[in-house]
Amino acid sequence: MAALLEARHVTKIFGGGLLHKKNVTVALTEFSLAVHAEPPSITAIVGESGSGKTTLARTLLGLATPTHGEVRYRGTDLRRLSRAQRRNFLREVQVIFQDPFEVYNPFYKIDHVLETPIKKFRLAASRRAARELIEGTLRGVGLRPEETLGRYPHQLSGGQRQRIMVARAVLLRPRLIIADEPVSMVDASLRATILDSLRQLNQVFGISLIYITHDLTTAYQIGDNIVVMYRGAAVEAGDVEHVVKDPLHPYSQLLVGSVPLPDPEHTWQRDATMVDPADVPVVGLNSCRFADRCPYVMQVCHTALPPLFQTEPRRVAACYRYNDAPILKSQDLGQVLTAPAALPGLEPQTTRGR
């Protein structure tokens, strides 16, 4: 069966053109990822700014067209969806954006964003049924309908606005929600509640989630799987518990080491590998992107792009330090991520402290 949503060798290049040949940004390089509807999972995609996370989200949603490669919804290229297929796509794949203010049309009360999908997809038979559906969904994300409905977006807090966006996405009962940094612009005190709502969606309604973030700790809190991105490509992927506790790729190690600990005796790991990404020269496809920052850099890293080495059934890392492991074709990345039942005893939810 075709995957619910699948990126195949997606490359996205910004800029360029006739006059600005040199001024090119490669946001995604040969990126492949597959999300299956069953079993519902939460995949966290982590990377620093400029790693191509948002481009990935927009490409998966069809809001940006890949320069090369394609994004497929149930086997069909997003650009070739028929009208009916596009309707199904919208019913099954929904989105939560980063900025909880920009997503509201300032002309309307917040009711508008909740009523529109009901109207457009005929989710309710009557006005009353629609109202009940809205109120029920709002309660489901921890909001009181009487405190939110009938207000303008600027009268609500960022956390409330973002939870209404969660409610909007949930109304359609999608199979997959792509959330692009949903909590990065929300007060820290409200992050946990929104993350909890997202987690509940996954568990109660069986909605898969692609959670895109720069914040390793929230990825750890919410994710089942994790994909670490660096400069437009996946450098490590696997079960979140393993990747965070025991990162393989030097960049993942750097990321994990950068998480500040609440311990005054613990000095923040900040060694020579922490280079400002802007200072790093542009690399081609013929060397490891991380080579300039890597403490373990080898000769081969400068001459060839490392493929994904599958060190464990649910674990890949794009680093030549693991070159004794079998090579995984990049389009099979989805298989690595969607096999939680394959490893009994490693179910991460049970051991995780939240």
Chain residues binding other proteins by CB under 8 A are 61, 63, 87, 90, 94-95, 97, 99, 102-108, 113, 116-117, 120-121, 152, 154-155, 165, 168
Shortest Cβ 11–other proteins spacing (Å): 22
Nearer Cβ to other proteins, position 177 or 226? 177
Cβ of 260: how many Cβ atoms within 10 Å?
A: 9
Helix/strand/coil (H/E/C) assignment for every residue in 148-163: HCCCCHHHCCHHHHHH
Nearer Cβ to other proteins, position 108 or 268? 108
Shortest Cβ 88–other proteins spacing (Å): 11
Q: What are phi and psi of 241, to 5 degrees?
A: -60, -45
What DSSP string describes 187-203?
-HHHHHHHHHHHHHIII
What DSSP string describes 245-301?
HS--SHHHHHHHHHSPPS-TTS-----TT---GGGSPP--TTS-TTGGG-TT--GGG
Shortest Cβ 148–other proteins spacing (Å): 14
> How distant is the alpha carbon of residue 112 from its chain centre?
27
The label of the residue with tokens 């613990």 reads 266
Shortest Cβ 173–other proteins spacing (Å): 14
Nearer Cβ to other proteins, position 29 or 197? 197
* Helix, strand, or coil (residue 107): coil
Cα separation, 58 vs 81, whole angstroms: 17
Helices (H), 3-99: 53-60, 83-92
Shortest Cβ 100–other proteins spacing (Å): 9
Nearer Cβ to other proteins, position 198 or 333? 198
Nearer Cβ to other proteins, position 87 or 144? 87
Closest CA to 219 of 210, 208, 231: 210
Cα separation, 59 vs 78, whole angstroms: 9
Tokens of 218: 């929230």
Shortest Cβ 34–other proteins spacing (Å): 21
Nearer Cβ to other proteins, position 113 or 328? 113
Shortest Cβ 76–other proteins spacing (Å): 18
In what helix (H) or strand (E) does residue 42 lie, and over which residues does it extend? strand 42-46
Nearer Cβ to other proteins, position 107 or 125? 107
